[in-house]
Amino acid sequence: MNFKIKFIMCFILFVQFISGQTTPDSAYIRINFSSDLILQINDTLVIKNKESIVPVAPGLKRFALRPASNRNWYMVPLYNTVQISSGDTIDLTFDNPGFQYEVPSFKVIDLKSGMHIGKEQNGFWSNKMVKPALIASAVTANWASFYMRRQADDFYDEYKKTSDISRLNYYYDKADTYDTYATAALIVSVAATSALLYILIFDD
């Protein structure tokens, strides 16, 4: 093999190497948050910078956004899932209305089209007040059901023991009323417990 052929082959290999190095095999995320937030990508990469451009490998990304301090913020965390292609640059935006019971917004924007992309998950089940509220509801309703059932049993015992005709209807009605209340409280307790179990099993 003469020198010219060797030179041409080396030049081709060099061009291919350079092309491989310059071909975009990364995507980029632009972060521009006005507050102290922590961004977690696919449960591994953690970013704490307010303003930065971060290279990431292409693929399906799941973003989790939470405040550096959890105080006075009721949504912890916010999620967003998006498929990122090689060479893409996306913008992460966060908007907190500042009202306690309004849902903050965490969106992924394609900088090329300006369109929102990804699946935002910041709904009802992310509210950190829901689980304690369901636990309190289940416990309170269960206690109320037990109490009402005891009251119903007491009135029914009085109904069976009394020989006063005028008191029969009174004790019977009381027993029936408390029995209805006990059943309703039990239904609330079961519903709250079921909702809590659903969240614990299926909520991210």
Give tens-digit pLDDT for 38-88: 777 877 767 666 667 777 788 888 877 777 665 545 455 677 777 877 777
Work out the angle between the directed axes of helices 130-161 and 165-202 (0-180°, nearest 10).
160
CA 93 vs CA 78, 105, 137: distances in Å:
12, 8, 36
For strands 89-95 and 27-32, give the pairing.
parallel
Spatial separation of the C-alpha atoms in residues 82 and 63, rounded to whole Å: 8
Nearest 5°: phi and psi at 197?
-65, -40
Residue 128, pLDDT above cutoff 60: no
Q: Is residue 3 very low, low, confident or very high in pLDDT (cuts 50, 70, 90)?
A: very low
| pLDDT computed for residue 179 by the predictor | 92
Claim: this prediction has a pTM higher than 0.85: no
Task: Say if residues 199 and 134 touch (Cβ distance below 8 Å).
Answer: yes
Find the radius of gyration of the CA atoms of the chain.
31
